[in-house]
């Protein structure tokens, strides 16, 4: 797979970055090398570089081997809606950001409704009922029953 | 030991524990039956909710979720051919064809009986093996711990995915994330980049919620179908197809016992989990069957084997967890996190210091068998309703639960950002077919590994010869070599032709 070759290179690059930053960790005065805090990250970095290169090289070898033996194998492409994923990711960011400003209740009611719409729910009445009831139940169960704190407001109530 | 068991029974006999088991079982079965969710996600989200509970009650609740979740996957496997858990994928091979023949009820009953028996035998193995393994583990010094964790990580990385090298990369990434924060020996900051929230390292619960639950929501967002509905299953008029007499169940006793033993063996091995056990037991059942050709077309023996093995893993995966501190499955790794949060530090000392608490948990696991049977019977009747919960309601609610769970760990907004980061990482890793369990288990075990390795090398003044001078270390090395040979054989087998696993590609596994 072409993408695996790229991922292997990226993993190796991450390994190089880890190696670079691990050498910058303050060592302090130690008797043995193994006592230094960068001992273990250095091992991790080397593993990342080696495994990353291993992934790339093994895929390049496989690619050429397959090209020689079997050609023209068309893979079934899955229908994936990346735009939809991006919308859900953005809404998660918005939720995390606004929950701090407006508290749990208000933000959750709005975000839950929007998420339901994104996940294919088209009945407005269902969206409104589910988002309000679920948020209230969550608030009751977590705060009142389990004594678990939920993000509180800066601007508005809870 | 007997005194501890009696004290454990005394601790267990509390109304809170019994309610915890019932609630945990109901949640577990529902979550297990929901396509896209499974016991790991349920456990990750449930852990923060147990913070205010007594340790035994909290662990029993989580154990019940784990047991119920492992069984619940079979309901959606049989009814809609979409296994709620990876462990139930083997059940779908014969379960769905049986449902299409109008024998859904029979298949569901067999799955329940086999699961209950498998879980009982698995728990028995936990009761018998855990004290002895703990006594053996008392002899472990840093060199033995180093090799044991290393062996465990290698096994997990090599067996949990399609590609060994991807498993190894995932495990190394887990180790990298674990090394963020203060150095465990000297206390110097590593990879914190001046971010205060990273000083104490990445918190386990938000990371796990992100990597499993949040990434699953992103995956589900890829294929949203508005107004999608499952076709209705036919109903057989023959009453025999709706029942499973005890006599018929006993006909499969050898298959169930054999599959349970397979489950116990695989469960004890670190990090492999239910799906491997189920497929292995399925293959063994097919080999031993009089009608191997009907496997995959609706042979009830297939369900028997898969479910017994899948559920035997649940308790047996706790054997290495309780005695050595090494989880036998991914869900057990999350239980490890929960045990630590509740002040029960897994390992040989656990048995010595918290014997009654641990026996209370084991007795609770036996009680889970009864609870699984009774609640499972009810779940069969309403199972189809659970599998039809709309994705448009389910996944948005799960996302809110993720945020609540991640925040509840330390009441910190920073943990929400950690969860989000791991959500994106988990999504990308899934997209490129990296297994997630090596990452999580390495993340949990790495600290122990680093401390043990560095202590060993300090004792030996930097020489690795210490590993070859101790008999237990040598045993681990020999096991490691045998395992390496096994991996090489696995690679050559993979290249030689299609196997049973190829068949499951036809089923949509979550």
* ipTM score: 0.90
Read off the pLDDT band of A73 (50, 70, 90). Answer: very low
Measure A72 CA to nearest chain B CA, in Å: 20
A25/B461 Cβ within 8 A: no
Quote the tokens at residue B179: 């090394």
Is the predicted pLDDT of residue A67 greater than 80, yes or no? no
Q: Could you tell me if residue B227 is inside a domain?
A: no
Is the predicted pLDDT of residue B476 greater than 70, yes or no? yes
Residues of B whose CB is below 8 A from A142: 49, 404, 408
Give the span between the Cα atoms of B235 and B36, in whole angstroms. Answer: 26
Q: Establish if B222 touches chain A: CB-CB under 8 angstroms.
A: yes
Q: Establish if A142 touches chain B: CB-CB under 8 angstroms.
A: yes
- Asked if residues B31 and B38 have their Cβ atoms less than 8 Å apart, the reply is yes
- Determine the pLDDT at residue B404: 86
A111/B179 Cβ within 8 A: no
Domain that holds residue B482: 2-222+240-504
Q: Could you tell me if residue B228 is inside a domain?
A: no
Do you know the residue count of chain A?
Answer: 158
Give the span between the Cα atoms of B95 and B304, in whole angstroms. Answer: 10
Digit-coded pLDDT (tens) for A85-142: 999 999 999 999 988 888 888 899 999 999 999 988 888 999 999 999 999 998 888 7
Give the span between the Cα atoms of A72 and A74, in whole angstroms. Answer: 6
Counting the structural domains of chain B, the total is 1
Residues 39-98 of B with CB under 8 A from A: 48-49, 51-52
Residues 27-46 of A with CB under 8 A from B: 27-28, 30, 32-41, 44
Q: What is the mean pLDDT of residues B311-324?
A: 87
Read off the pLDDT band of A1 (50, 70, 90). Answer: low
Collapsed DSSP state (helix, strand, coil) of residue B367: helix
**Per-chain mean pLDDT for chain A:** 82
* pTM of the predicted model as reported, rounded to 2 decimal places: 0.83
Q: Which residues pair with B182 in a beta bridge?
A: B189
Read off the pLDDT band of B208 (50, 70, 90). Answer: confident
Query: Crossing angle of helices B39-46/B391-410, nearest 10°?
Result: 40
Read off the pLDDT band of A18 (50, 70, 90). Answer: very high
- Determine the pLDDT at residue A71: 47
Q: Could you tell me if residue B231 is inside a domain?
A: no
Annotated domain spans of chain A: 2-69, 82-145
Residues 118-137 of A with CB under 8 A from B: 118-122, 126, 130, 134-135
Is the predicted pLDDT of residue B212 greater than 70, yes or no? yes
- Determine the pLDDT at residue B137: 78
Place of tokens 């009445």: A125
B423/A84 Cβ within 8 A: no
Q: What is the mean pLDDT of residues B352-381?
A: 89
Measure B146 CA to nearest chain A CA, in Å: 13
Digit-coded pLDDT (tens) for B265-317: 888 877 666 777 888 888 888 888 888 888 888 888 888 998 999 899 888 88
Give the span between the Cα atoms of B386 and B29, in whole angstroms. Answer: 10
Q: What is the DSSP string of A58-94?
A: HHHHHHHHHHHH----PPPPP---HHHHHHHHHHHHH
Q: Could you tell me if residue B232 is inside a domain?
A: no
Q: What chain B residue is nearest to A107 in terms of C-alpha separation?
A: B400
Contacts of A13 (CB under 8 A, 6+ apart): A52
Residues 66-125 of A with CB under 8 A from B: 79-82, 84-85, 87-89, 92-93, 95-96, 99-100, 108, 111-112, 115-116, 118-122
Give the span between the Cα atoms of B25 and B43, in whole angstroms. Answer: 12
């Amino acid at each position: 797979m072409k993408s695996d070759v790229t991922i292997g290179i990226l993993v190796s690059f991450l390994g190089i970055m880890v190696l670079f930053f691990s050498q910058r960790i303050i060592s302090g005065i130690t008797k043995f090398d193994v006592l230094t805090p960068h001992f273990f990250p250095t091992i991790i970095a080397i593993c990342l570089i080696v495994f990353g290169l291993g992934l790339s090289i093994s895929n390049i070898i496989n690619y050429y081997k397959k090209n020689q033996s079997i050609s023209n194998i068309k893979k079934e492409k899955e229908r994936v809606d990346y735009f939809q994923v991006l919308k859900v990711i953005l809404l998660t960011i918005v939720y995390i950001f606004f929950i701090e400003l407006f508290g749990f209740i208000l933000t959750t009611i709005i975000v839950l409704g929007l998420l339901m719409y994104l996940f294919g729910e088209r009945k407005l009445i269902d969206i409104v009922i589910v988002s309000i009831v679920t948020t209230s139940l969550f608030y009751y169960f977590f705060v009142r029953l389990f004594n678990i704190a939920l993000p509180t407001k800066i601007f508005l109530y809870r | 030991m007997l005194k501890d068991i009696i004290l454990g029974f005394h601790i267990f006999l509390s109304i809170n524990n019994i309610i915890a088991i019932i609630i945990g079982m109901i949640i577990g079965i529902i979550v297990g039956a929901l396509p896209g969710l499974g016991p790991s996600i349920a456990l990750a989200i449930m852990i923060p909710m147990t913070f205010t509970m007594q340790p035994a009650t909290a662990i029993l609740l989580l154990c019940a979720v784990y047991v119920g979740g492992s069984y619940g996957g079979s309901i959606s496997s049989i009814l809609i051919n979409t296994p709620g858990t990876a462990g139930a994928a083997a059940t779908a091979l014969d379960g769905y064809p049986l449902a299409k023949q109008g024998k859904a009820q029979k298949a569901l009953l067999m799955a329940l009986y086999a699961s209950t028996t498998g879980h009982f035998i698995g728990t028995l193995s936990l009761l018998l093996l855990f004290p002895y393994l703990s006594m053996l583990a008392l002899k472990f010094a840093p060199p033995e711990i180093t090799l044991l964790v290393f062996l465990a990580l290698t096994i997990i990385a090599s067996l949990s995915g399609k590609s060994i090298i991807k498993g190894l990369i995932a495990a190394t990434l887990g180790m990298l994330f674990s090394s963020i924060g203060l150095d465990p020996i000297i206390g110097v900051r590593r990879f914190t980049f001046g971010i205060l929230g990273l000083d104490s390292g990445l918190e386990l619960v938000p990371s796990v919620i992100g990597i499993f639950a949040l990434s699953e929501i992103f995956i589900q967002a890829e294929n949203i179908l508005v107004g999608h509905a499952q076709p209705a299953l036919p109903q057989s008029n023959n009453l025999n197809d709706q029942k499973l007499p005890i006599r018929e169940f006993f006909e499969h006793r050898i298959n169930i016992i054999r599959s349970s033993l397979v489950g116990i063996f695989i469960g004890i091995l670190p990090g492999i989990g239910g799906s491997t056990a189920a497929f292995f037991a399925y293959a063994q059942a097919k080999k031993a069957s009089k009608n191997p050709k009907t496997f995959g077309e609706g042979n009830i023996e297939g369900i028997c084997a898969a479910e017994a093995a899948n559920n035997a893993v649940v308790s047996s995966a706790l054997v290495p967890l309780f005695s050595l501190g090494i989880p036998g499955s991914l869900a057990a790794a999350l239980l490890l996190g929960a045990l630590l949060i509740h002040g029960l530090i897994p390992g040989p000392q656990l048995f010595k210091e918290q014997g009654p608490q641990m026996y209370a948990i084991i007795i609770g696991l036996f009680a889970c068998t009864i609870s699984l049977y009774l609640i499972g019977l009810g779940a069969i009747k309403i199972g189809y309703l659970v599998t039809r919960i709309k994705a448009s309601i389910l996944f948005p609610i799960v996302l809110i639960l993720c945020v609540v769970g991640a925040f509840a760990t330390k009441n910190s907004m920073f943990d929400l950002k950690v969860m989000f980061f791991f959500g994106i990482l988990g999504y990308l890793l899934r997209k490129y077919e990296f297994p997630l369990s090596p990452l999580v288990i390495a993340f949990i075990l790495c600290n122990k590994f680093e401390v043990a390795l560095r202590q060993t090398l300090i004792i030996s003044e930097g020489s690795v010869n210490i590993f070859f001078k101790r008999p237990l270390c040598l045993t681990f090395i020999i096991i490691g070599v045998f395992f390496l040979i096994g991996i090489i054989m696995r690679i050559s087998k993979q290249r030689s032709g299609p196997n049973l696993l190829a068949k499951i590609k036809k089923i949509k596994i979550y």
